[in-house]
Every structure is written in structure tokens, then in C-alpha cells.
Amino acid sequence: MVYAFTIDPTSFPAAKVGKISDIMNLALPLALTGAGLIFLVITLKAAFDILTHGDNPEALKKAYGSISTAVFGLIIVIASYLAIQLLGVVLKTDIIPK
């Protein structure tokens, strides 16, 4: 016996995606939140390492390197978000809702 089914937005959630901007509207806020949480965790761990290994210069150097890497990564994430917003303005599409 053969069963046929239709793909519509009520039975298949992926059918709701019609444009690339729909995917970006879903994925980009999640990615930004994840990047912020990763930044927070790395910064807190590095701060804890600074507090607990204050007499070891190698551990301090590693902790300060972790903080600078986390800040640099967050700057890259924010710059890419701004680039996507600029791309949306140039292409006259609403990539991320305001």
C-alpha cells in the first residue's frame, strides 16, 4: 500500500522557509547569543585563573591571553553581524528584524 503525503507548513516545518532571510532570522540571533555565552564563560574562567594562580607568571600569561582572545573573537562576531546588517541595507531586504 502506498501512502502519499503533502508538504505544507502545517505538516512539515521546513516548508516555512521560503527565503534565505528566513534562515538568517532564525539562526543569527541564536549564534549571537551563543557567542556571548561563550565569551562570558571564557572570561569568567580566565578571571578565576588570575585569582587562583596569581603567583605563577605562566598561568597569568595564559589567562590574559585567553581574555584577549575572547575579546578579539567577540569583536569578530559583532563585526560580522554589522556586515550582515549592512548587506541587508544594500540589498534592500530585511535580514534581521529590527
pLDDT at residue number 79: 93
Q: What does the pLDDT look like over 32-54, one tens digit per residue?
A: 999 999 999 999 999 999 999 88
Q: What is the pTM of this model?
A: 0.69
- For the chain, what is the domain count? 1
Query: Domain span at residue 37?
Result: 19-90
Residue 45 lies in a domain: yes
What is the grid cell recorded at 39?
565569551
Residue 57's CB: how many other CB atoms inside 10 A?
9
Confidence check: pLDDT of 70 > 70: yes
C-alpha cell at 25: 532570522
49 within some domain:
yes
The confidence score (pLDDT) of residue 15 equals 65
Assess if residue 5 is contained within a domain: no
Query: What is the pLDDT at residue 81?
Result: 86
